[in-house]
Amino acid sequence: MRLLHIIVAFPLCLGVSLPALAADPTGIPECDAFLSKYEACGLQIMAGAEKLAFEKTIMESTMSARASAESPETRAAIVQLCIDSHKALKTNDTPFKACMNQ
């Protein structure tokens, strides 16, 4: 249940807007690595409307992390959120686990 909270809460914590991750990195190496892997895994796992919603969430997360990277006050918190989210998806038993560990 905690992992589901992270999967849902991560993008919500980062905020909303719309540029693509592949074209526009966040400027935070930890978040770029996490979001890139998370996106690749999600696109493998999901299909249909779920996949489209996931793609939008990734784009929103990327834009928000990029905006947060500009502020020293928020950057440290976003870095830690990306590290914690990446670790959780690699260790918790979800459909993302195998892919995140590749």
Domain locations in the chain as residue ranges: 27-100
Q: What is the pLDDT of residues 62-99, one digit of tens each?
A: 998 888 888 888 999 999 999 999 999 999 999 999 99
Residue 92 DSSP class = S
Longest dimension (CA), the chain: 38
For 46, the token pair is 């999901």
Query: How many whole angstroms separate alpha carbon 72 and alpha carbon 91?
Result: 29
Residues 6+ apart with CB under 8 A from 88: 2, 3, 6
pTM: 0.74
